[in-house]
């Protein structure tokens, strides 16, 4: 996730339950003048997770996509290349990249062919939505995906138009599982063990991709792993979150030093709010509201300590129908 699941976050994940089995980077923007973004490259080259990392690209131009893939693959730490066919941001879609590419299946077909060739023995994977305007487009998309030997398909089960607020189309994910020989990974609205297990049961997907839910609760991967192994998922307490935020603070500072970037305390607090929006959702109106107003480290951590330095378990689910988490109930049914 752009500017959220970055190097400091990944380093923090590794210290909070061990993190995920596989990582996909924030997207590298690809256009005629693009170079590899240093910060995203660092999340690959300085990654402590010990797990495979796939570099994601967003763009539409065949030559530039191939050039960027080649530059990325020069690094042995890159396990493969992923193409983003899902970003709904108007500035991206209007350039016919990301989710906008789903309106031009011929171009998708060409890009997939070129990138498959460029990746050679290394993985080539696709992250997609289920259509641009409506889910009926998905069968046509699956035809294109099936024509290329892709190594994994991650499906964010919404259309581009649906952005982030609706329930996910589990039937579309299930259709991808039935149709494609590669592993299909279900994405969208996994916020706890029950929603993850429900998504797998409804779709038969080979795995889960977790975004916002992992920022809210980085132990979600450990909890899912334990649950799927038939064991009891560990409980996460408020004090664990406090520890998580402290680690994230330190890792954020460390990454700025390593990348040689200037970073005032005020900007550091601002950066933390990108994560805290998700972490603090549902932990009390007062905490959420006051944290948004903080400007300094001491002020922020005083507030966090007041509310989080205790052994109360966090709620399994975030608040429903908030701006950040929405439509996950359907996965629990």
Measured distance CA(312)–CA(333) in Å, rounded: 27
Residues ≥6 apart with Cβ < 8 Å to 172: 130, 135, 138, 155, 157
Q: Is 1 in the site for ligand FMN (CB under 6 A)?
A: yes
Q: Which stretch binds ligand FMN (CB under 6 A): 46-54, 105-113, 185-193, 219-227?
A: 185-193
Q: Note the Cα 52 to chain centre separation in Å.
A: 15
Tell me which residues in 198-227 interact with ligand FMN (CB under 6 A): 210-213
Measured distance CA(216)–CA(19) in Å, rounded: 13
Q: Is 318 in the site for ligand FMN (CB under 6 A)?
A: no
Q: Is 277 in the site for ligand FMN (CB under 6 A)?
A: no
Q: Which is nearer to ligand FMN, 28 or 244 (CB)?
A: 28
Q: Which residue is nearest to ligand FMN (CB)?
A: 211
Q: Is 194 in the site for ligand FMN (CB under 6 A)?
A: no
We find the least distance from the C-beta atom of residue 187 to ligand FMN, in angstroms, to be 5
Closest CA to 130 of 85, 81, 185, 94: 85
We find the least distance from the C-beta atom of residue 82 to ligand FMN, in angstroms, to be 7
DSSP state string for 210-235: -SHHHHH-TTHHHHHHHHHTTSPPPP
Q: Is 29 in the site for ligand FMN (CB under 6 A)?
A: no
Q: Which is nearer to ligand FMN, 130 or 242 (CB)?
A: 130
Tell me which residues in 125-164 interact with ligand FMN (CB under 6 A): 127, 156, 164
What are the strands, taking DSSP E only, across 140-264? 152-156, 184-187, 207-209
Q: Is 2 in the site for ligand FMN (CB under 6 A)?
A: yes
Q: Is 84 in the site for ligand FMN (CB under 6 A)?
A: yes
Question: What's 67-103 look like in SS3?
Answer: HHHHHHHCCCCEEEEEEEECCCCHHHHCCCCHHHHHH
Q: Is 56 in the site for ligand FMN (CB under 6 A)?
A: yes
Q: Which residues bind ligand FMN (CB under 6 A)?
A: 1-2, 4, 26-27, 56, 84, 86, 127, 156, 164, 187-190, 210-213
């Amino acid at each position: 996730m752009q500017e959220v699941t970055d190097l400091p976050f990944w380093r923090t994940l590794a210290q909070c339950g061990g993190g995920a089995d596989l990582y996909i980077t924030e997207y590298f923007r690809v256009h005629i003048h693009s170079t590899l973004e240093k910060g995203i490259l660092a999340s690959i080259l300085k990654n402590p997770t010990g797990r495979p990392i796939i570099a994601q690209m967003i763009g539409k131009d065949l030559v530039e996509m191939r050039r960027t893939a080649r530059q990325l693959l020069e690094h042995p730490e890159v396990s493969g290349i992923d193409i983003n066919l899902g970003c709904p941001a108007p500035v991206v879609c209007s350039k016919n990249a990301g989710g906008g590419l789903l309106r031009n299946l011929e171009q998708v077909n060409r890009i997939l062919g070129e990138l498959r060739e460029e990746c050679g023995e290394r993985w080539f994977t696709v992250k997609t939505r289920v259509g641009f305007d409506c889910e009926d487009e998905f069968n046509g998309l699956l035809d294109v995906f099936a024509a290329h030997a892709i190594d994994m398909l991650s499906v964010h089960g919404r259309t581009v138009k649906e952005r982030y607020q609706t329930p996910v189309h589990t039937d579309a994910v299930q259709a991808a599982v039935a149709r494609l020989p590669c592993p299909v990974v279900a994405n969208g609205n996994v916020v706890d063990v029950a929603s993850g297990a429900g998504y797998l049961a409804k779709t038969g997907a080979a795995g889960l991709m977790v975004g916002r839910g992992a920022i809210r609760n980085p132990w979600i991967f450990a909890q899912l792993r334990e649950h799927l192994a038939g064991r009891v998922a560990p409980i996460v307490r408020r004090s664990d979150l406090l520890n998580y935020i402290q680690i994230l603070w330190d890792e954020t500072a460390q990454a700025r030093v390593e990348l040689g970037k200037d970073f005032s305390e005020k900007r550091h607090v601002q950066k933390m709010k990108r994560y805290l929006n998700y972490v603090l959702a549902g932990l009390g109106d007062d905490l959420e509201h006051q944290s948004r107003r903080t400007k300094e480290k001491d002020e922020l951590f005083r507030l966090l300590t007041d509310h989080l330095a205790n052994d109360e378990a966090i709620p399994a689910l975030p608040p429903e129908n908030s701006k950040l988490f929405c439509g996950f109930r359907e996965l629990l049914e």
